[in-house]
């Protein structure tokens, strides 16, 4: 009897820094019931990958899960597939770190009795040079999307076999994941998957269909717990697939023991199709969606999709400069800490991918995920003193200052502002505030992704989303990045609402214009002669408990001069505030803790929450990224004042 080989796999992952209750909920709704159901069907097989942050949580909180997993491995039902332990995008970290990350996960797999030889490629981000790294790490095969192969020019009909790929004389096997199966499983009735698998059967006994996707689809994604578990989809799927005489269930290793890959291919830099949309700059992403939808309307998308390509994953470092800076600081410390064992685990944790990008999940927009990355970057810190260097590779030098308790990094070319103030004692970056930016899905209600019509439950890629009116009223977009010690010249008629909703005009070019600078021990002086008749000079010095900055400002017209500090305060602020003070206390339970801002003269203060709008698997997230504190002084001539920030 002719059969179709079928490999079924899942990828279980929770980001570093995610809330404990999220881990708990995902475990109870997806990870545990999936494995318990698998135990009931001894003829069912699954390739399973579990990321390091989740492994550590399960080991501490639900160790019995691994007892069951070990049993299923011994039965031959489960094959463990590894990745970088802390789920880094391998293409985004140094080769030495890739090997170390994979080695850690292989060592964990051995503790469960499995010698892992395959890699689940995080976010399926592929670049050819990974071949050498993976082979050096003892990996024989890797799992990517069929989109990678189509981007190389292969047709859909050629994507039911693994292939070899080569780089520099090193060879590895690559398995393509079937996109149609990703949209069928588990969102459509089991019969739809069975019919599709049967339709693939022909006289080639080596033909294989591969499904490997997020384990969270089986209970965590909206509507899936009821559909997959309460209504019995999962058990029906296991029963029917494992008992169907025309479906030959296999593991990756079993396939490679029996068959050879089809031939040789060369895959370009790629990820899955949805990622090619998300990674584009917002305006280009909007055009990309329009283009794909136009092809679909004409019925031409499937014919031409092999030529439809958007951006690549590393575009996110261009799209989000905040993420780029965080990434480059991580790389800087990784290199410095190469031979320092006490720092290695921290820097490997700081490579967890989620906080560096954004798609249908919150990603970089989630402050608690970025906070976890910064905590580990700071804990991995290697003392290096002060220096001037282009840290984030934007072609402009940063001034890096360090004392026993703090790290301060200025961008003279960007308003002479302070873009990092990291506390070694608290392991927080006070400046970790994401700017408010327009995203293409603020106007596009549908993503440019294929859809499978029919009964079942909608994938999160298929959910239409409309911005609630109460959010739209407060929605604003910044035309600059957020930092500390950002300088403003404003019209005296400017109101707090004008300012916070970005409906005002800067009277000058100090906010983003370049400043001259002169470093000194534990400090730096920055100055700019900008808009005619206006000058700002600020002399900054790190102290044991924070910093002191002395301002000297000159203007030839009646204006308001403002100094803005954007702080990563996550205690929710409901409404903007306007008041006069020479001292502002901060008490943030969730992130930066306690601090105080002091001035040597009274000022008008504008205080408001910085909220970004992003999409998530559950709809819209209107998230407080931080709080803006702006100290305003009427100015007609010269002004001198001192501002002090103290950590409490």
Least confident among 32-41, 364-373, 418-427, 615-624: 615-624
| pLDDT (0 to 100) of residue 362 | 84
Mean pLDDT of 519-541: 94
CA distance 121 to 143: 6
Q: What is the per-residue pLDDT across 596-612, written as a single tens digit (0 to 9) for each?
A: 999 999 999 999 999 99
Span 455-481, average pLDDT: 78
Strands 46-50 and 78-80: parallel
Q: How far, in Å, CA of 609 to CA of 40, rounded?
A: 51
Q: Which domains, ranges and CATH numbers included, belong to the chain?
A: 4-271 (3.20.110.20), 272-311 (no CATH), 440-444+457-647 (2.70.98.10)
Q: Give the pair of three-digit tokens for residue 19.
A: 């809330």
Q: What does pTM read for this prediction?
A: 0.95
Lowest model confidence (mean pLDDT) among 318-322, 469-473, 606-610, 611-615: 469-473
214 part of the active site: yes
603/613 Cα distance (integer angstroms): 31
pLDDT at 498: 96
pLDDT score for 454: 52
Q: How confident is the model at residue 451 (pLDDT cuts 50, 70, 90)?
A: very low
pLDDT of amino acid 615:
87
Task: Say whether 588 is catalytic.
Answer: no
Choice among 140, 158, 170, 214 that is catalytic:
214
pLDDT-derived band at 554, boundaries 50, 70, 90 = very high
The pLDDT of residue 447 is above 90: no
CA separation for the pair 250, 77 (Å, rounded): 9
Sign of CA dihedral 81, 87, 91, 95: negative
Indicate the average pLDDT of the chain.
94
State CA 559 to chain mean position distance.
41
Map residue 556 onto helix, strand or coil.
Answer: strand
Instruction: List alpha helices for 161-208, DSSP H.
Output: 179-184, 190-199
pLDDT digits (tens, 9 = 90+) for 187-201: 999 999 999 999 999
- Of 457 and 470, more confident: 470
Give the percent of the chain with pLDDT over 90. Answer: 90
Of 87, 100, 123, 216, which is the active-site residue? 123
């Amino acid at each position: 009897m002719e059969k179709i080989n079928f490999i079924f796999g899942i990828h279980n992952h929770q980001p570093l820094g995610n809330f404990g209750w999220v881990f708990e909920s995902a475990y109870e709704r997806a990870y545990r019931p999936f494995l318990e159901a698998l135990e009931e069907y001894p003829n069912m097989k699954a390739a399973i990958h579990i990321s390091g942050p989740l492994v550590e949580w399960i080991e501490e909180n639900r160790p019995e899960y691994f007892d069951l997993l070990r049993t299923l491995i011994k039965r031959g039902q489960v094959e463990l597939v590894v990745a970088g332990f802390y789920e880094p995008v391998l293409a985004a970290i140094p080769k030495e770190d890739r090997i170390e990350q994979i080695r850690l996960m292989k060592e964990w797999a051995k503790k469960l009795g499995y010698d892992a030889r395959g890699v689940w490629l995080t976010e399926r981000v592929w670049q050819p040079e990974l071949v050498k790294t993976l082979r050096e790490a003892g990996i024989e095969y890797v799992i990517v999307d069929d989109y990678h192969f189509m981007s190389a020019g292969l047709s859909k009909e050629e994507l039911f076999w693994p292939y070899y790929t080569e780089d520099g004389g090193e060879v590895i096997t690559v398995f393509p994941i079937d996109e149609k199966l990703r949209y069928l499983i588990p969102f459509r009735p089991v019969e739809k998957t069975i019919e599709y698998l049967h339709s693939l059967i022909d006289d080639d006994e080596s033909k294989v269909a591969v499904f490997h996707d997020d384990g969270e689809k089986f209970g965590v994604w909206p509507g899936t717990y009821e559909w997959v578990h309460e209504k019995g989809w999962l058990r029906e799927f296991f029963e029917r697939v494992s008992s169907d005489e025309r479906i030959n269930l296999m593991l990756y290793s079993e396939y490679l023991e029996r068959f050879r890959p089809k031939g040789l291919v060369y895959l370009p830099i790629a990820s899955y199709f949805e990622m090619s949309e998300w990674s584009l700059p917002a305006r280009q992403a909007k055009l990309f969606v329009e283009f794909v939808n136009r092809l679909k309307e004409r019925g031409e998308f499937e014919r031409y999709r092999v030529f439809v390509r958007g951006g690549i994953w590393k575009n996110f470092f261009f799209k989000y400069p905040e993420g780029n800076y965080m990434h480059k600081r991580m790389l800087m410390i990784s290199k410095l800490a190469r031979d320092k064992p006490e720092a290695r685990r921290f820097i490997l944790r700081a490579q967890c991918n989620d906080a560096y990008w954004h798609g249908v999940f919150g990603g970089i927009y989630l402050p608690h995920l970025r906070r976890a990355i910064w905590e580990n970057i700071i804990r991995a810190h290697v003392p290096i003193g002060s220096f001037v260097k282009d840290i984030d590779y934007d072609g402009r030098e940063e001034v890096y200052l360090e004392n026993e308790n703090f790290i301060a990094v200025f961008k003279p070319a960007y308003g002479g502002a302070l873009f990092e103030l990291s506390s070694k004692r608290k392991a927080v970056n006070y400046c970790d505030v994401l700017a408010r930016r327009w995203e293409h899905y603020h106007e596009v209600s549908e993503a440019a992704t294929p859809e499978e019509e029919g009964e079942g439950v909608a994938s999160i890629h298929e959910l239409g989303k409309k911005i609630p009116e109460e959010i739209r009223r407060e929605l604003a977009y910044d035309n600059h990045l957020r930092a500390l010690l950002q300088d403003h010249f404003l019209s005296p008629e400017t109101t707090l609402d004008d300012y916070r909703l970005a409906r005002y005009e800067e009277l000058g070019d100090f906010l983003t214009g370049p400043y001259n600078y002169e470093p000194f021990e534990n400090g730096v002086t920055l100055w700019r002669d900008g808009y005619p008749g206006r000058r700002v000079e600020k002399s900054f010095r790190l102290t044991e408990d924070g910093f002191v900055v002395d301002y000297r400002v000159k203007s030839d017209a009646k204006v308001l001069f403002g100094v803005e500090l954007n702080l990563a305060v996550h205690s929710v602020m409901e409404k903007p505030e306007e008041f006069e003070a020479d001292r502002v206390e901060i008490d943030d339970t969730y992130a930066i803790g306690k601090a105080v801002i002091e001035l040597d003269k009274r000022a008008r203060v504008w205080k408001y929450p910085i909220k970004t709008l992003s999409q998530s698997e559950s709809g819209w997230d209107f998230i407080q990224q931080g709080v803006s504190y702006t100290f305003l002084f009427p100015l007609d001539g010269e002004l001198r004042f001192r501002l002090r920030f103290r950590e409490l």
